[in-house]
Structure 1
Amino acid sequence: MTNVTLIYDDILSKEVIDDFRKIVGSGGINFKFVDNKRNVAMASLEWLMPTAVVIYIVKSYFDGFLNEAGKDHYRKLKDGIKFIGEKLKDFDIVKVGASGNASRSKFSRTYSIWFEAESGIRFKCLFYERLSKDDMDNAIDVFLKTIQKYYDGGLDGELGRALSEANPVAGIILISCDHKSGTVEIVDPVPSSVTPPFPPATP
């Protein structure tokens, strides 16, 4: 069974993919690499759409945290996710409408992390555009810590309640991270609408 999938298009070179493989290793984790050259129109609710590069992690991956080997590989995976983020942080994808006007997005169309939750629901972690390396790394740390706490059943407080009460759209719950404060937001797929920020998950 595949635990982690990297979905990418031409924005990632073969060298970057090979380096990612070396960083994350295997450690008994089943990886899948999908070359997905996109040539599709973006839907109006574009934040629900896959980005150019996606890291997709299934619930069974986090079940491996019960042993030390799982914890060791988790650290490698986090390094790999940050490596890809650094390579993509300066890329912008501009959408051109039917009128020929170009538009930018508040959130990256280039890179996102997806997690499988309960009952077929998925979390999509949105990165703000043009993050510095440090801000990207901080956002990744917050996302992974939040999702790990969610899987462990230890995500309580306002964020835990908000996630449990969130209404998925097309089976997806969107979350973003204020990389400065470490707070997490639940994002409405209709642009410009977000919930109030919640403090980061405690270790």
Structure 2
Amino acid sequence: MIHKLDSIDHEKIDFSKQDIALIYNEKLPSLLADDFEKHLQDSELDILIYKQQEKGPYAGIEWLMPSLISVIILQPYLKSFFSEMGKDHYYLLKNGINSLGKKIIGKNKIVNIQTYTGTDSPKKVRKKYSNHFSILYEVQPKVHFKFIFPSEINFKDFQIANEVISKYIESCLMNETRVLDVIKQNGNIMYSGKLIMTYDFKKKEVIVLNPFSKEDEDC
């Protein structure tokens, strides 16, 4: 079932009753949300599509380093996401995420998302990581691994990163100790139950970013 809410309804949001959520900035064309919805409308999942006011109250799950578009895969649904029963949903969601990426990333994008962000600040232009799009996985109740992507990523690399990230999350779900270790090792940079992460193309691995350090200050 698809649930649609605007910012004026933000107090009504109950993420515990959702399987997947899409949060997007109100300035973005609705076709982005419409296309994502189209890919998942026959999935029988509980899906929240939330239009976020640019200067309004953020949904609590996404107020730290908010992205213009965020896809969130929630507990307890995530636990079954990679199971044999959830494989069909996995492919539907992957296609939905890729359809979003194709519209906003690379040379053939149809939405110049940069138009919807402020570019007056030089620091914003120099950002190593983009605030355009993120994917959040609720690996434990109210604990999220939030994945962001390099500013200059192309669509092909986005697909590669998305695939590696999915396999990483699957491995975490199959070994809860791994999740606990990641949280324990990075607890000092976890904020509001979130770790900021990315796929490092040079290291060819998933890494945790520290949004509070000078080294990663442009993320």
TM above 0.5, one fold? yes
The root-mean-square deviation of aligned C-alpha atoms, in Å, is 2.8
* Letter of the 1:103 counterpart: K
For 2:197 and 2:30, locate their aligned partners in 1 and report how far apart those are by CA, in whole Å: 30
> 1:197 — aligned with what?
none
> 1:88 — aligned with what?
104
Structure 1 unaligned residues grouped into runs of 5+: 41-46, 195-203
For 2:82 and 2:97, locate their aligned partners in 1 and report how far apart those are by CA, in whole Å: 21
Q: 1:153 to 1:67 in 2, by over 3 A?
A: closer
> 1:30 — aligned with what?
46
Shift of 1:181: 5.4
Residues 14-25 of structure 1: matches in 2 within 5 Å?
Answer: 14-25=30-41
Q: With structure 1 as the length reference, what TM-score do the two structures score?
A: 0.77
Q: With structure 2 as the length reference, what TM-score do the two structures score?
A: 0.72
Residues 114-125 of structure 1: matches in 2 within 5 Å?
Answer: 114-125=136-147
Indicate conservation of the 8 Å contact 2:40/2:93, yes or no.
yes
Would you identify which runs of 4 or more consecutive aligned residues in structure 1 move more than 6 Å? Answer: none
Residues 14-163 of structure 1: matches in 2 within 5 Å?
Answer: 14-39=30-55, 48-65=64-81, 68-89=84-105, 91-92=113-114, 93-94=117-118, 96=120, 103-104=124-125, 105-153=127-175, 161-163=181-183
- Report the identity percentage: 25
Shift of 1:190: 2.2
> 1:189 — aligned with what?
211
For 2:120 and 2:177, locate their aligned partners in 1 and report how far apart those are by CA, in whole Å: 40
For 1:129 and 1:31, locate their aligned partners in 2 and report how far apart those are by CA, in whole Å: 28
1:165 to 185, 196, 200: 185
1:84-121 deviations in Å (ceiling 9; x for gaps):
11212253334545xxx563221111110112132522
For 1:189 and 1:51, locate their aligned partners in 2 and report how far apart those are by CA, in whole Å: 14
1:57-95 deviations in Å (ceiling 9; x for gaps):
112222324754411111110111111112122533345
Indicate conservation of the 8 Å contact 2:149/2:198, yes or no.
yes
